[in-house]
Every structure is written in structure tokens, then in C-alpha cells.
């Protein structure tokens, strides 16, 4: 299960290892397409932690990272942002990106 994070626990939940956070909103069509892809990846990529954040309920974190469009996927490694991916991406595309940080 992809862990839901908030402005309050985002830093603590994403400070170790490789973490992908899916920034989304309930009204966003492409976000609803992206979520199942992230959930599928979570089943197979055990060395990556997957989280998601509703940007409407948690405005501070997206603002801190300059996120202006959703879906945006933020990849952090050991607490440092290493990649920001905007728009819908396939499982293969995301796997390729994440493999750069887990190898």
C-alpha cells in the first residue's frame, strides 16, 4: 500500500533511502491514471518507498518544492531531491528513472 503523507510527516517519511512521492489531487484526471501505475511499481520495487500527497490538503510541501502542476512525482535519495517528474508516466518509464538511484 502506497503510504499517504502530509505536510507534517513528509520530511520524516522521506529522509532515508530512495523515496518516490506522488503529488496528486482528487479532481485531477491524469493523477487518477498515475496512481495505479505507482501502486504497481510498489509491488515490484521493494528497494523504493512509495508515498503520495494530496496537494489540496497539504499545500506547504508542494510549495516548498516548487510544484505547480500535477501529477508530479518527486524522487528523493537519503532526504535529498534528485528528480522531479511532471505529468503521466508509464511503469517502464518510472522504473528506468528509479533504477538510476537504486543501483
pLDDT at res. 103 = 78
Q: What span, in angstroms and rounded, lies between the C-alpha atoms of 49 and 84?
A: 16
Sheet strands (E) in the chain: 3-4, 18-24, 48-54, 72-77, 80-86
Active site annotation includes 31:
yes
User: What domain count does the chain have?
Assistant: 1
Taking the model in full, what pTM does it have?
0.96
Q: What span, in angstroms and rounded, lies between the C-alpha atoms of 96 and 101?
A: 10
Active site annotation includes 41:
no
Of residues 5, 19, 20, 31, which has the active-site annotation? 31
**Cβ 65 vs Cβ 74: under 8 Å:** yes
pLDDT tens readout for residues 7-59: 999 999 999 999 999 999 999 999 999 999 999 999 999 999 999 999 999 99
pLDDT at res. 20 = 98
Of residues 28, 45, 67, 94, which has the active-site annotation? 28
How many CA within 13 A on the CB side of residue 20?
Answer: 28
Q: Crossing angle, helix 29-44 and helix 91-102, to 10 degrees?
A: 50
**Which structural domain range is residue 14 located in?**
3-102
Amino acid at each position: 500500500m502506497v503510504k499517504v503523507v502530509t505536510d507534517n510527516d513528509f520530511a520524516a517519511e522521506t529522509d532515508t533511502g530512495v523515496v518516490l512521492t506522488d503529488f496528486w489531487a482528487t479532481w485531477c484526471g491524469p493523477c487518477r491514471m498515475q496512481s495505479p501505475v505507482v501502486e504497481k511499481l510498489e509491488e515490484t520495487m521493494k528497494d523504493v518507498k512509495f508515498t503520495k500527497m494530496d496537494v489540496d490538503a497539504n499545500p506547504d510541501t508542494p510549495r516548498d518544492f516548487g510544484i505547480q502542476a500535477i501529477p508530479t512525482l518527486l524522487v528523493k535519495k537519503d532526504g535529498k531531491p534528485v528528480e522531479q517528474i511532471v505529468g503521466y508516466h508509464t511503469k517502464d518509464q518510472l522504473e528506468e528513472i528509479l533504477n538510476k538511484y537504486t543501483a
